[in-house]
Structure 1
Amino acid sequence: MNIKQILTIAITITTLSSCAQKLYFKKEVSHAEAQTDLMIQEIPKADNKNGTLVTPRTLEGGNLKLVASKDWTSGFFPGELWYLYELTKNDKWKQEAIKYSAFIEQEKFNDKTHDMGFKVYCSFGNAYRLTKNENDKNVIILAAKTLSTRFSPKVGAIRSWDHNDDKWDYPVIIDNMLNLELLFEATKLTGDSSFYKIAVSHANTTMKNHFRSDYSTYHVIDYNPETGLVEHKQTHQGYSDASAWARGQAWALYGYTMCYRETKDPKYLAQAKNVASFIFNNKNMPADLIPYWDFDVPNIQNEPRDASAAAVIASALFELSTYTKTNDYLPKASKILKNLSTNYNFKNGEGKGFILNYSTGSKPSNSEVNVPLSYADYYYLESLIRANKLKNNKSLFN
């Protein structure tokens, strides 16, 4: 076989691979659209207490469970709709996204929660990115101001929960890293650096106190609000205080990757890479890269997986792959995305319109185990968008 023949075969294989990827992407987007169409049909049929429940969260006993705007998951479904609009440019999804985002706009003033990023940035943040609507911009800024009121200079971090005062004095959870993106955006929109400084302080405090020497993370750190000192290192949703809760690792990976994007501080990139190393070098990471709900739970082979953690990890890896050339982050992200799309998804017409199945919310309380979750679908669609942009040599953030 001569050089010309070898080159011809190589070009043919590359072309076929590219075509297969395009077909794969089109199939997954079409599936997401079909399922979301079903979800929109199912929402009016769901149990809705006095009409106060606004977005879907999960299935409970096979029935669609809706939540109020104050629920930490309320912004994910509007965010999914914005992502479908971005993927398809179909105005139908834009109109639905506007409708469902409006249901939770009041959360911009809710100072009883740290979940502003999840609720407001996943919905109105994507809305503003795609439409540059001034109202969406104002919602982001007001939400950031509200979130900032939960920051303690003494602790150096944003308080997470207000409940369980008998259990915690000033709890900060690893999940809270995802809410920092809202603050970074608010500084870009206003020029007010106070939001940026709060986000950096929180990221630094979390880096200092949340991580063990192997870069696994505690779920909850409880601080003394008067001294700022650590009182307890615990879990709430993981197997034990000393274990590595899978979605906690995912939040950490995503959070520090995002912090590097916003600050270009190399210590955040190093932290993200170290967390990724813990995840993928862990002896209990399955071959398909869809983690069990906790990396350290006994008899792990009999435990449920967490597709939501996998979706967050995949999305973070797609971004992380753009910050360093000597890695296998992109192949791993692609593998996770493919496995979610083929082995952890609902077939068309099933699951009341959810896209992914087999997520685990809180195994210790036997809540939302082996069920769909709205945030799994959100980060799955975000992963699809990021994969497609990278394939087409486009910026992830335009």
Structure 2
Amino acid sequence: MHSTFEKLTATVIAALLLPLVSLAQPAAKKRMAALIDDNMQFAVKQYQVLKANTPADRMPRSFAKGKSITSDTEWWCSGFYPGTLWYLYEYTKDPDVKTEAEKRLTILEKEKRYTGNHDIGFMIFCSFGNAYRITGDKKYKDVIDTAAVYQLTRYRPSIKSIQSWNKSSNLNCPVIIDNMMNLEQLLWTSQNGGSSRFREIALIHANTTIKNHYRPDYSTFHIVDYNLDNGEIIKKVNGQGAHDTSAWSRGQAWGLYGFTMMYRFTRDQKYLNQAKHIANFILSHPNLPADKIPYWDYNAPQIPTSRDASAGAIAASALLELGQYTTGRERSRYVDAATVMLQSLSSDAYRAKLGENGGFLLKNSVGSFLANSEVDVPLTYADYYFLEGLLRYKKWYL
């Protein structure tokens, strides 16, 4: 499981990457530009393999034991593949990529009225949001506007939050940290002609998350379970973390990204402060490897253990945006760390060989370690945020 990392240690990786980090060096910028172009051109070719492995009425999900794993469009990750295709089209203007993206949106559009959980933001905004941003076609905006309306059906006034999952035998009214990501759809819709109610609820949810999800050190619980009748907290647990007091790495990345995004839309200093605190937790953690791609949990009981490339990709993209709202050494810290993350993910330790990995770009992500589900495999959201990070770097730092 860990042979790649035993041969190519984090310390060696970091040493190799250091000359590429400084934004002040023109040569370093040139190397980053070349790396971004290489990744994008590779992704176009690699996603031809992914396309071939994915039936026309399904979405790619993962690849394990030599077999492609797909999902229906109700799966929470269904928007990432078309969203990634739109990122590729934005960079390459390849008409075949656009055609594939449009085909996948056609089968995904019916989920604009999905109410089964909170993930309609991932499903619709990562896909149709990119499509509208790039093309300006109003039909894509109409889908987003509809999805935002249905997203609000899961808002629960008694807990001042959007309920994530439905009630189960173990959880009464769960809200998960991942839900911060779905607020972007509400904020965007409100900002682009929609009701102010979308924004109002996004802010209420974010404020409740700051209050109830985070520990004093700015690590987060995965799940807060509420009593829907009186709004009281029943329990705080880590459904996917090592234990209830640990820091699940993707959860840390979701929060970092989510509160940075909240600041983008509101310019409220408390959201920027929250993002900075979360970033500091991640970048200062003694268990963060030198190549800055985290283990699946910062407090995993057996380190070294499986890395989570998806957590690294999400954090890298978020740190690059956080760098836009800071200056001086603080900005350099965030951008330099994100640079190392992107460089690491581009290395053979994490990026697949052409034609391998079922057509996915990145290896070594972790869905749910404790459930032994999607461990050391590719995941669609790892690819999505990896390319997003590369494009953000090109836009803001080159």
Shorter-chain TM-score above 0.5 = yes
Partner in structure 2 of residue 133 of structure 1? 137
Q: Which of the residues 200, 215, 219 maps onto 1:197? A: 200
Instruction: State the Cα distance separating 1:235 from its structure 2 match.
Output: 1.2
Instruction: State the Cα distance separating 1:93 from its structure 2 match.
Output: 1.5
Q: Counterpart amino acid of 1:386?
A: R
Deviates more, 1:21-30 or 1:215-224: 21-30
Instruction: State the Cα distance separating 1:14 from its structure 2 match.
Output: 4.6
Partner in structure 2 of residue 273 of structure 1? 276
- What CA deviation, in whole Å up to 9, does each residue of 1:50-75 have, x standing for no partner? x8x51101013221111001000100
Partner in structure 1 of residue 337 of structure 2? 332
Q: Counterpart amino acid of 2:335?
A: L
Q: Counterpart amino acid of 2:358?
A: K
Whether the 8 Å contact between 2:310 and 2:379 is mirrored in structure 1 is yes
> Are 2:30 and 1:26 equivalent residues in the alignment?
no
Determine helix, strand or coil for the equivalent of 2:236.
Answer: strand
**Aligned equivalents of 1:217, 1:362: Cα separation in 2:** 16
Q: Which of the residues 227, 232, 243 maps onto 1:229? A: 232
Q: Which of the residues 65, 79, 87 maps onto 2:83? A: 79
Deviates more, 1:349-358 or 1:32-41: 32-41
Instruction: State the Cα distance separating 1:338 from its structure 2 match.
Output: 0.5
Q: Counterpart amino acid of 1:197?
A: E
Partner in structure 1 of residue 176 of structure 2? 173
**Aligned equivalents of 1:22, 1:262: Cα separation in 2:** 29
Determine helix, strand or coil for the equivalent of 1:111.
Answer: coil
Q: Which of the residues 384, 388, 391 maps onto 2:390? A: 384
**Aligned equivalents of 1:369, 1:22: Cα separation in 2:** 32
Instruction: State the Cα distance separating 1:87 from its structure 2 match.
Output: 1.2
Q: Counterpart amino acid of 1:375?
A: Y
- What CA deviation, in whole Å up to 9, does each residue of 1:29-87 have, x standing for no partner? 1111111111112224xxxxxx8x51101013221111001000100000010000111
- What CA deviation, in whole Å up to 9, does each residue of 1:248-282 have, x standing for no partner? 00000000000000110000000000000111111
> Are 2:329 and 1:318 equivalent residues in the alignment?
no
- What CA deviation, in whole Å up to 9, does each residue of 1:170-207 have, x standing for no partner? 10000000000000111022241000001000000000
Q: Counterpart amino acid of 2:260?
A: T
**Aligned equivalents of 1:182, 1:370: Cα separation in 2:** 30
In the TM superposition, 1:87-106 aligns within 5 A as 87-106=91-110
Partner in structure 2 of residue 361 of structure 1? 367
TM-score (norm 2): 0.91
> Are 2:302 and 1:296 equivalent residues in the alignment?
no
Partner in structure 2 of residue 309 of structure 1? 311
Instruction: State the Cα distance separating 1:381 from its structure 2 match.
Output: 0.6
**Aligned equivalents of 1:276, 1:16: Cα separation in 2:** 28
**Aligned equivalents of 2:41, 2:149: Cα separation in 1:** 38
Partner in structure 1 of residue 5 of structure 2? none
**Aligned equivalents of 2:101, 2:302: Cα separation in 1:** 42
Instruction: State the Cα distance separating 1:113 from its structure 2 match.
Output: 1.4
Instruction: State the Cα distance separating 1:228 from its structure 2 match.
Output: 1.0
**Aligned equivalents of 1:144, 1:19: Cα separation in 2:** 41
Instruction: State the Cα distance separating 1:18 from its structure 2 match.
Output: 3.7
**Aligned equivalents of 1:19, 1:181: Cα separation in 2:** 33
Percent same amino acid among aligned pairs?
46
- Cα distance change on mapping 1:297 and 1:16 into 2, 3 Å: closer
Determine helix, strand or coil for the equivalent of 1:321.
Answer: helix
Q: Which of the residues 66, 78, 81 maps onto 1:62? A: 66
Instruction: State the Cα distance separating 1:154 from its structure 2 match.
Output: 1.3
Structure 2: state its 5+ residue gaps: 1-23
Deviates more, 1:144-153 or 1:25-34: 25-34
Partner in structure 2 of residue 352 of structure 1? 358
- Cα distance change on mapping 1:82 and 1:74 into 2, 3 Å: same
Instruction: State the Cα distance separating 1:138 from its structure 2 match.
Output: 0.8
**Aligned equivalents of 2:181, 2:162: Cα separation in 1:** 12
Determine helix, strand or coil for the equivalent of 1:149.
Answer: helix
Instruction: State the Cα distance separating 1:15 from its structure 2 match.
Output: 4.7
- What CA deviation, in whole Å up to 9, does each residue of 1:87-138 have, x standing for no partner? 1122221111111111111111111110011100000011111111111111
**Aligned equivalents of 1:15, 1:339: Cα separation in 2:** 20
Aligned-CA RMSD value = 1.3
Q: Counterpart amino acid of 1:319?
A: E
Q: Counterpart amino acid of 1:261?
A: R
Partner in structure 2 of residue 240 of structure 1? 243
- Cα distance change on mapping 1:240 and 1:223 into 2, 3 Å: same
Instruction: State the Cα distance separating 1:163 from its structure 2 match.
Output: 5.0
Determine helix, strand or coil for the equivalent of 2:121.
Answer: helix
**Aligned equivalents of 1:243, 1:378: Cα separation in 2:** 26
State the aligned residue count.
Answer: 371
Larger Rg over CA atoms: 1
TM-score (norm 1): 0.91
Partner in structure 2 of residue 47 of structure 1? none
**Aligned equivalents of 1:197, 1:266: Cα separation in 2:** 17
Q: Which of the residues 148, 154, 172 maps onto 1:150? A: 154
Partner in structure 1 of residue 266 of structure 2? 263
In the TM superposition, 1:364-375 aligns within 5 A as 364-375=370-381
Partner in structure 2 of residue 7 of structure 1? none
**Greater relative CO (CA pairs within 8 A, separation 6+):** 2
